[in-house]
Amino acid sequence: MKQICIPGTTLQVSRLSFGTGSLHHLPSLARRRALLQAALEAGFTHFDTSPYYGFGLGELALGSLPAASRQRMTVATKVGLYGPNGSRAWAVDVYARKFLGKLLPSLNRAVVDWSLARARATFDDSLRRLKRESVDLLLLHEPVAAFIRTSEWLQWLQSLQHNGRIRHWGVAGEPGLVVAVRLHAEALAPVIQVRDSLQRHEADVALNLPGTDSRPMQLTYGYLAAQSGAARGGVLAEQCLLTALGRNATGSVLVSTRRIERIAGLAKVAAG
Ligand SMILES: NC(=O)c1ccc[n+]([C@@H]2O[C@H](COP(=O)([O-])OP(=O)(O)OC[C@H]3O[C@@H](n4cnc5c(N)ncnc54)[C@H](OP(=O)(O)O)[C@@H]3O)[C@@H](O)[C@H]2O)c1
């Protein structure tokens, strides 16, 4: 697969990145691991995760890959959004909450916590689950600018970078949230991962703030999710991604599937 250097960073990543937001829908670790390994073999080298995804199961699956595989990938994880019971990553707990949460949503609701103490502790947990000393990218997950003490956070992120525990940091989420961070704390957003679609071009709002130079696209997601069921099927999905790669010509487009048989077709879209 073609590779690209994310603008403004030293991050060399595959043009399509693999998202682990729905990985926990696969019922066994063996199947989650097989899907990730297939993505790696097909040419995806950048993997996006979060302690919120499967309340830790996404990170655990990445950490369960053989060391040789882990060394071939770059990884982004996140802080700020957590599972209702922390990120214990016990499959039974996760599935019980996801199932019962349909009846009682509070069991399954994300916990938003912008305290630095929580971020410090959960980042250590993330590294343990990922079986890594460091990650390539640490993102503030759906950041709420009004709750974030910018100078404290900046100091922490700089110290992580200085100590070699992260290579880069940034923000990830909906365009409106990214805009607010950029207006109030631009230093927290050297990397921007933002929702986009072919229909509405939402990312433009976050990248082109009036009175500032427009930012090149870095990481964008949501293109297939924005399509209706029929428009998403098979070849159409691949055409959609091809157009998405044209739109995000400078960075990497995140995509996810739970179906191993779809991986080769997706990867082919960005073949070198
Ligand atoms: N705040 C954030 O930073 C944030 C927010 C949202 C997402 N993300 C990241 O971005 C990743 C991707 O986001 P996403 O899941 O919204 O986006 P997506 O990749 O645009 O859409 C995924 C959907 O497309 C379907 N699909 C995949 N390949 C297909 C194919 N060949 N034919 C038909 N349908 C296909 C998948 O179904 P199947 O699984 O059945 O294939 C799934 O329903 C996430 O996993 C996560 O890592 C980040």
pLDDT tens digits for 155-177? 999 999 999 999 999 999 999 99
The set of residues, in sequence order, having a beta carbon less than 8 Å from that of 206 and lying 6+ positions away, is 175, 178, 179, 182, 192, 194
Question: What pLDDT shows up at residue 84?
Answer: 82
Residue pair 23/57 in contact (Cβ under 8 Å)? The answer is yes
Question: Of residues 233 and 253, which shows the higher confidence score?
Answer: 253
Question: What pLDDT shows up at residue 83?
Answer: 87
Q: Per-residue pLDDT for 102 more than 90? A: no
Question: What pLDDT shows up at residue 110?
Answer: 87
Q: Per-residue pLDDT for 86 more than 70? A: no
Using the mean position of ligand 1's atoms as its centre, give its distance from the Cα of residue 233 in Å. 13
Atom 17, ligand 1: residue with shortest CA distance: 222
- State how many domains the chain has: 1
Mind listing the pLDDT tens digit for each residue in 179-214?
A: 999 999 999 999 999 999 999 999 999 999 998 889
Task: Report d(CA 224, CA 149) in Å as an integer.
Answer: 35
Using the mean position of ligand 1's atoms as its centre, give its distance from the Cα of residue 179 in Å. 23
Pocket test for ligand 1, best of 17, 245, 257, 266 (most atoms within 8 A of CB): 257
Atom 15, ligand 1: residue with shortest CA distance: 256
Average pLDDT, stretch 27-51? 97
Using the mean position of ligand 1's atoms as its centre, give its distance from the Cα of residue 39 in Å. 14
Fill in the DSSP letter of residue 213. Answer: P
Task: Report d(CA 111, CA 80) in Å as an integer.
Answer: 8
Q: What lines the ligand 1 site, CB under 6 Å? A: 19-22, 48, 141-142, 172-173, 193, 221-225, 232-234, 237, 254-259, 262, 265-266
Domain hosting 148: range is: 3-268
Question: What pLDDT shows up at residue 109?
Answer: 80
Domain CATH for 165: 3.20.20.100
Residue pair 56/88 in contact (Cβ under 8 Å)? The answer is yes
